[in-house]
Structure 1
Amino acid sequence: MTVAPDAPLLFFDSGVGGLSILAPARLALPHAPIVYAADSAGFPYGTRSEAEIAARVPALLGRLVERYRPRLAVIACNTASTIALSHVRAALDIPVVGTVPAIKPAALQSQSRVIGVLGTDATVRQPYVDRLAAEFGADCTVLRHGSAALVQLAEAKLRGEPLDPAIARDALAGLLDQSGGDRMDTVVLACTHFPLVEAELAAAAPHPLRFLHGGEGIARRIAYLTREQPWPADPAPGIAIFTRMDDQVDPLRAALASYGLPRVEAL
């Protein structure tokens, strides 16, 4: 397939969490044009049903691909990836990269053999996570906890709002207070929002914890899939797309610009 140099990379999330995936991708591919889409009308995904997400995500990505003609799409959302990735791949005729919990590297690095998986409620209950834990963490205790409040904390941080440290503390307590949680040494950030508040999580931890997520691995995957494709010497400014333009979008403009997304549009 011939790819135009100005064909963008498309990143998709329910909100701004996918910026944690975009950042390492921009470092790996600095000349890549970027379209970042946030489904603000459907946010947050973590409290929605599997059926809603499985229907909504492929339909939205189909509209985005039709409008922006990307060379590749990244579902920069663990919840959407663990539920809808196969549906999206079946619906689109471009490569689609998903975001899955980094349980494999966590199992490789954990010394105590107790791993936490911190995600949304929808992600941590998925059979996909069961399979990852069984395949890569069979000799580990894998604790799970879902936190909707931590997703909201990340969004608030990027809007420049004051943050309540109790939210990060409570999210970690959901893992640490489980049986074996006191021996946990590694936490998989299984929601792309959570790396945005890693500093807050580290500050709330009662003992040092290693936090892992998949951003750099996804950047390497994108670079591999586009390795022989042309890029513009001077790409256009990145675009941030929102499915609903409400009063939560305008306070994000400064943060979006810092990620190379100075243009904001509605889908």
Structure 2
Amino acid sequence: MSSAAPLGIFDSGVGGLSVLREVRLALPHEDILYLADTAHVPYGARPDEDIRDLTDRAVTALHERGVKAVVNACNTSSAFSLSHLRARFQMPIIGLVPAVKPAVKATRSGKVGVLATPGTLRGTLLADVVAQHAAPAGVEVLRAVSTELVPLVEAGRHDSPEVRRVLRDALTPLAEAGVDQLVLGCTHYPFLAGSIRAEFGDTFTLVDSGAAVARHTRRVLEEAGLLSDRTEPGRVTYLVTGDPEAARPVIATLTRENGHSGRDTTGAALSGEPPRIEPIQT
């Protein structure tokens, strides 16, 4: 495998753009193929086998495009598919683990919340990390679930009255219970940070796994001798299984909101260069 090959990032939709931002910060010289399975989003309420099949198809499509590794930037997919993917593919597969560990370390109330999809709550990864980190520390973990938030983010309505209504319904019980750390257990949810703060102020410290996954991805590529040795910025190409034109404005908006220092995470100027979007079948 060549170090010049692109890095693949996969999500059920556009939520993984929050992980893409962190990967671009940690690995600015890597070319990236970002695959959004917009034809089948959301994954959260799908049967387990359906989630594994869709994930396998997406990672296969990236493998056929010649990627050197894949970041599975979907909490629900990671909860059901990592062992299967690692057995099937020789390239590195990096998955997501809900950021319970740092939340447990930071809590002062002894109560941590996890906002996630039904699939993530049903999978084993969250239960394992709670048993490993929260239970021994005597920290209570309260769970909040929603099937509505991912479709709202996918529709570009991440800062809308509908989102705030759903967040109030889902998170008010956690606030009333004294939760002070809120783990964002879906990569779509960092885009809801503004709405969460608008509704709950500084009640919660928001915790997500994007930066940790980016650091881990860099370590994996270094250890495998797969880091790009280029000095120029890498480029991002977006692959979508649904309608590219429907995805374009949402991707453009979310990458702008993810921007830093006057440039977005694809290296395109905030003022204008459109995202490079291509259709793909999986």
TM-score (norm 2): 0.85
Give the 3-state SS of the residue equivalent to 2:194 in structure 1.
helix
Where does residue 123 of structure 1 map in the other structure? Answer: 120
Where does residue 277 of structure 2 map in the other structure? Answer: 264
Tell me by how many angstroms 1:182 deviates: 2.3
Q: State how 1:58-97 maps to structure 2 within 5 Å.
A: 58-66=56-64, 68-97=65-94
Residue pair 2:28, 2:234 contacting (<8 A) in 1 also: no
| RMSD of equivalent CA atoms | 2.1
Shift in alpha-carbon separation, 1:145–1:253, aligned structure 2, 3 A:
closer
C-alpha separation between the residues in 1 aligned to 2:234 and 2:126?
Answer: 38
Q: State how 1:90-239 maps to structure 2 within 5 Å.
A: 90-138=87-135, 139-157=138-156, 162-164=160-162, 165-173=164-172, 175-176=174-175, 181-205=176-200, 208-227=203-222, 228=225, 229-234=227-232, 237-239=235-237
Once the two structures are aligned, what percentage of the paired residues are identical? 36
Report which stretch shifted further, 242-251 or 93-102. 242-251
C-alpha separation between the residues in 2 aligned to 1:225 and 1:128?
Answer: 20
> What runs of 5+ residues in structure 1 fail to find an aligned partner?
none
C-alpha separation between the residues in 2 aligned to 1:121 and 1:12?
Answer: 19
> What runs of 5+ residues in structure 2 fail to find an aligned partner?
257-263, 269-274
Give the 3-state SS of the residue equivalent to 1:148 in structure 2.
coil
Where does residue 240 of structure 2 map in the other structure? Answer: 242
Shift in alpha-carbon separation, 1:174–1:37, aligned structure 2, 3 A:
farther
Residue pair 1:153, 1:163 contacting (<8 A) in 2 also: no
Residue pair 2:38, 2:242 contacting (<8 A) in 1 also: yes
Where does residue 272 of structure 2 map in the other structure? Answer: none
Where does residue 249 of structure 2 map in the other structure? Answer: 251
Shift in alpha-carbon separation, 1:46–1:35, aligned structure 2, 3 A:
same
C-alpha separation between the residues in 2 aligned to 1:103 and 1:3?
Answer: 35
**Aligned residue identity for 2:127:** D
C-alpha separation between the residues in 1 aligned to 2:249 and 2:186?
Answer: 22
Is residue 49 from structure 1 mapped to residue 47 from structure 2 by the alignment? Answer: yes
Shift in alpha-carbon separation, 1:46–1:28, aligned structure 2, 3 A:
same
Where does residue 21 of structure 2 map in the other structure? Answer: 23
**Aligned residue identity for 1:70:** V
String of CA shifts for 1:195-214, please: whole Å, max 9, x gaps: 11111112211652111010
**Aligned residue identity for 2:276:** R
Where does residue 9 of structure 1 map in the other structure? Answer: 7
String of CA shifts for 1:96-122, please: whole Å, max 9, x gaps: 000110111111111111111100011
Give the 3-state SS of the residue equivalent to 2:71 in structure 1.
strand
C-alpha separation between the residues in 2 aligned to 1:231 and 1:149?
Answer: 42
